[in-house]
Amino acid sequence: MGLEGIFSRNDKIIHAPVGPEQLVMLSVDAGRYYSVNAVGRRVWELLEEPKSIAELRAAICAEFDVDEAVCEADVVKFIGEMIKNGMVYAAGA
């Protein structure tokens, strides 16, 4: 997954905040729900507009106390899981 690929969230996913730091998401099509922590929630919020991994990494590093390399690896993993579960799409997919 390239740093400059563009990703966006699936607009069919229902989502709602749970407390100040969590987010739950429901895929009606798949009949599954997911819960994410504060960082996952922020990535989801950022994906309201299509973003690259590099843009997501920069935003998360600016908002959370995290090493850039660790952040990038975690964002790539998170986006990969979200793509696998139909929550996020790569541009052109």
CATH for 6-87, among 3.40.1350, 3.40.50, 3.30.200, 3.90.930?
A: 3.90.930
pLDDT digits 0-9 by tens, 63-85: 999 999 999 999 999 999 999 99
Across all residues in the chain, what is the average pLDDT? 91
Burial of 50 (0-12, 13-18, 19+ CB in 10 A): middle
Across residues 40-54, what is the average pLDDT? Answer: 95
pTM of structure: 0.89
Tokens 């793509």 locate to: 83
Domains in the chain: boundaries: 6-87
* CB-CB neighbours of 35 under 10 Å: 11
